[in-house]
Structure 1
């Protein structure tokens, strides 16, 4: 009798195909370019994301060690590519606790990389930022001269006019959320505790000219799941609300109840002529949340029973708008499009201000879906889409303004595009005013870049 071979257990999503980690660090120079790189692009594009070391399964996509991929562009050339792990205490197998207390330096630093006051910071909401050199060497954890005693969100907001950096940290013990403000020179000037009911997973927030906008939503830390991977769970009893607070941190937070949902990423917030606050972000219904959390390694079961999901709910994350009226206390909310999207971005000059354009990445459902970069015109409601076909996935599209721009979308979008099967990657340069058109340039990268999270264009002038 012939035995039938048992098929090997499939790799988790985050260790397979376009998501699979790379095994090492490399350097390459004089990268091939198709098309013509704009001569005025002079700087570095950096992209952060999880990349477990060989043989390591972190149990969830969000938990892999941070690796930053960088491309240096100048004089119409792609001068170099390099990738480096962020050399955190976690990567060095340090103990997760110090003297019985949480060590905020022990985190993967795997979510974002930004520049503020001439410093490059690799961010992860689980702990302190890590400073990197322009060549991606790790300098070390940053606590702003001992003043930062909480974790730091991966999504701080820099005011385009004042240069201040606003951020927060959340934790599993009170105070659950703490608000912080950095000066333009990088000094931590203010920290304020924010009262929320429990250990919420607050991934993002927003600012306007006068307000901070808080997202207090029903994904909360669950101690019962600590041994089962990423210990967060949807909790219907927690509720869902948005909060408005003065940016200087004085006065109470005014809360507005909303329909239950989750938001990983905010596009922007702004105040209209009537004093209302408009918040645009990517909304997950309960069904959409369970779908993505299960796929990335999270636990969507309680006591062995699958959580119920309303059949009418969308299984995709979609662009949404909430309108908060401080004068009346009223809230309205509306879906802006039915496409599945994620990673919303805008021009940095429009953060917290009125802006016309918002860019996202299309989220193809299943293997037959099409990758894309999507541009929304919020004034007209029109949508433009750069179609990548069925075999490629687009990464977050970072806007780079053109010199002497006369329109908000004068500039370029940079996106790492990866083959779904894991065969290779390229850095795509699109004309932001003509997203649906042919690429301005395509840089062939010397290796596959795993699908990751967030990045930044760092102009040479910002590091001078």
Structure 2
């Protein structure tokens, strides 16, 4: 019996790779859902027990939808050097190709990329086979965040690379074809953990929380809560010379792994939102991630949505927790990324005592209300990916796609919900229980041009 919670229950790794076709569908799949839902997960090979959840090798799971049918499911390990045991640290420094590639998967410029923030991306085929490490034609000079942002107006990809050693923070922009057009070191950054960032129409927003590099760590992830590390938000104007004008604003101690969104309000203030944890919340989650005593029943047990309003004129920051529900994995209609949004979505979690259930949450910023779609006992949904409806006229005209792990049935389903009311539209029955994972993307067929299976 393992003592590692991330190898049990919903997180029990898949032991092999399979392909299944002609999946059973209950309800009616909307015809505009023509593409692939691809989701990543940490999934060590049989016999391997990583020292940290994040150290598990990446496995991508794909579901192909077309013309109202669920054509296939397949899962594949991302075949990186780390999958075969290659070390990240070598005699000459870090090997940026020795990646778990298990955090996220995106498409940009017709390439499918599996991401892990300590490494370079790994390119996959549309059938999820591994092509190899991808460094943007040699122009990527650092690791790449697992949370790049596609500007919905320009189509450009914005991303950063962080390191516990100088240069601590690099910022990049790639054009719609995937060529890096801008890369610069961001001054003033520290060894604080930077997992995600945000983009507005005019600014790039970096977050340095109270978690920083810890050379004495033994989990293989060398970070820890550090009361001496100032928490702050960096606001940098977009553009070639933006890094020269970055400003850092102190905030309350905490750690934010995922940004929900950021935008400029009608007064020109920068508004940033995302789930955060305090010192105790980080301790509970970290102990779960490494399998140490004193962990909560689940990670994210004290993760609450926080809002920061940064006045660039008065150089002041107003911050508040806007909800007391434990949530993580925020998403939204990405047409509103960087702009004032009304709706956002998240996954709800039980508290530190295991009370409360899993569900998909919808927040309405205009009314200040939230609604929850509970998914049932012993069922855990994945991050809810928003897909716009055809000819959408409202922000929440669309669908939420989430893969639900069902422990009682030892099965998984793809749940397709109406994003406006969280009602179920269709259920796709998958051929296995899919390991609970982290992030994923909906890749429409037109992202690949001619799409022939």
Query: What TM-score does the superposition give when structure 1 sets the normalisation length?
Result: 0.92
Whether the 8 Å contact between 1:322 and 1:334 is mirrored in structure 2 is yes
Structure 2 residue 99 is the aligned partner of structure 1 residue 112: no
Distance 2:86 2:138 in 1: 20
Distance 1:400 1:337 in 2: 25
1:290 corresponds in structure 2 to 283
2:231 corresponds in structure 1 to 240
Distance 1:69 1:10 in 2: 24
Secondary structure of 1:48's counterpart equals strand
1:327 corresponds in structure 2 to 313
Per-residue deviation at 1:389?
2.5
Residues 202-211 or 212-221, more deviating: 212-221
Structure 2 residue 190 is the aligned partner of structure 1 residue 198: yes
Per-residue deviation at 1:93?
2.6
Distance 1:31 1:197 in 2: 48
Per-residue deviation at 1:229?
3.5
- Summarize the Cα distance change of 1:249–1:334 in structure 2 as closer, same or farther, 3 Å threshold: farther
Whether the 8 Å contact between 1:426 and 1:443 is mirrored in structure 2 is yes
1:253 to 246, 251, 266: 246
Per-residue deviation at 1:263?
0.3
Secondary structure of 1:404's counterpart equals coil
CA deviations on 1:79-108 (whole Å, 9 max, x unpaired) are: 000000001111133343466132211110
1:83 to 49, 71, 75: 75
CA deviations on 1:101-144 (whole Å, 9 max, x unpaired) are: 32211110000001111111101101000011110011111111
1:459 corresponds in structure 2 to 444
Structure 2 residue 400 is the aligned partner of structure 1 residue 413: yes
2:132 corresponds in structure 1 to 140
Distance 1:123 1:179 in 2: 16
Structure 2 residue 332 is the aligned partner of structure 1 residue 346: yes
- The 5 Å alignment of 1:430-445 reads 430-435=417-422, 437=423, 439-445=424-430
Secondary structure of 1:461's counterpart equals helix
Higher alpha-carbon Rg: 1
1:378 corresponds in structure 2 to 365
Distance 1:356 1:125 in 2: 29
Residues 320-329 or 240-249, more deviating: 240-249
CA deviations on 1:133-161 (whole Å, 9 max, x unpaired) are: 11001111111111111000000011001
Per-residue deviation at 1:221?
1.4
Unaligned runs of 5+ in 1: 1-8, 301-305, 308-313
1:188 corresponds in structure 2 to 180
Distance 1:170 1:257 in 2: 20
Whether the 8 Å contact between 1:229 and 1:297 is mirrored in structure 2 is no
CA deviations on 1:39-65 (whole Å, 9 max, x unpaired) are: 121000000010000010111111100
- Summarize the Cα distance change of 1:209–1:350 in structure 2 as closer, same or farther, 3 Å threshold: same
Secondary structure of 2:63's counterpart equals strand
- Summarize the Cα distance change of 1:429–1:322 in structure 2 as closer, same or farther, 3 Å threshold: same
Distance 1:218 1:230 in 2: 16
Distance 1:422 1:235 in 2: 42
Distance 1:204 1:197 in 2: 14
Distance 2:111 2:189 in 1: 35
1:154 corresponds in structure 2 to 146
Query: What TM-score does the superposition give when structure 2 sets the normalisation length?
Result: 0.94
2:7 corresponds in structure 1 to 15
Per-residue deviation at 1:370?
1.2
1:447 to 403, 410, 432: 432
Distance 1:369 1:392 in 2: 12
Distance 1:10 1:41 in 2: 40
- Summarize the Cα distance change of 1:96–1:335 in structure 2 as closer, same or farther, 3 Å threshold: closer
Whether the 8 Å contact between 1:155 and 1:203 is mirrored in structure 2 is yes
Distance 2:250 2:356 in 1: 35
Whether the 8 Å contact between 2:404 and 2:414 is mirrored in structure 1 is yes
Distance 2:412 2:127 in 1: 21
Per-residue deviation at 1:271?
0.3
Length, aligned pairs only: 442
Distance 1:423 1:54 in 2: 18
Per-residue deviation at 1:333?
0.6
Per-residue deviation at 1:410?
0.6
- Summarize the Cα distance change of 1:315–1:37 in structure 2 as closer, same or farther, 3 Å threshold: closer
Structure 2 residue 303 is the aligned partner of structure 1 residue 317: yes
Per-residue deviation at 1:253?
1.3
Per-residue deviation at 1:367?
4.4
Per-residue deviation at 1:368?
4.7
2:379 corresponds in structure 1 to 392
2:255 corresponds in structure 1 to 262
Distance 1:453 1:196 in 2: 30
1:424 corresponds in structure 2 to 411
- Summarize the Cα distance change of 1:144–1:401 in structure 2 as closer, same or farther, 3 Å threshold: same
